[in-house]
Amino acid sequence: MKLVIAADHGGVELKDLLVKRLGEAGHEVEDLGTHGSDSVDYPDFAFKAARKVSRGEVPLGILVCGTGIGMSIAANKVRKIRCAHVCTVEQAKLAAEHNHANMLALGGRTTDEETAWEAVQVWLQTPKGGDRHKRRVDKIDAGPSDSE
């Protein structure tokens, strides 16, 4: 599968590990950086990756910052993005199954490498849920009406 991945300085180490493991697992990974420990602004990297997913250039993306929270907030500002911030394997499974998450956000300082790797694998392998979940995801994608 083709994926995009990006991180800020707080997530670069975990991102690099995931890029390596994803490549070894046969995935094609486009790494948008950052590539060092110098301080950078996470929204820049989240937006860059989220736009690629939103435009359909890649089906899925992974974001890593110190906690995963900032990246997920920024990515979810981009239309058609459903970025789930996850800390556990179960959350990754449910994000795929129930929320049809097309992006995953992880914390480089808060999630250990093995949990992050397992969460990514489960997220990639979990099929999207049935019509019950699709109806709800369609509402998320449509957003609120202006009259509400």
CATH 3.30.200.100, applies to 2-142: no
Which stretch of DSSP H or E encloses residue 78?
Answer: none
Q: What is the pLDDT of residues 12-71, one digit of tens each?
A: 999 999 999 999 999 999 999 999 999 999 999 999 999 999 999 999 999 999 999 999
CA distances from 14 to 62, 98, 128, 147 (A): 11, 26, 26, 43
Mean pLDDT of 71-97: 97
Assess whether 65 carries a catalytic annotation: yes
Render pLDDT for 111-131 as a digit per residue (tens, 0 to 9): 999 999 999 999 999 988 767
Is 133 in the active site?
A: no
Residue in 9, 65, 83, 100 annotated catalytic:
65
Residue 147 clears pLDDT 80, i.e. is over it? no
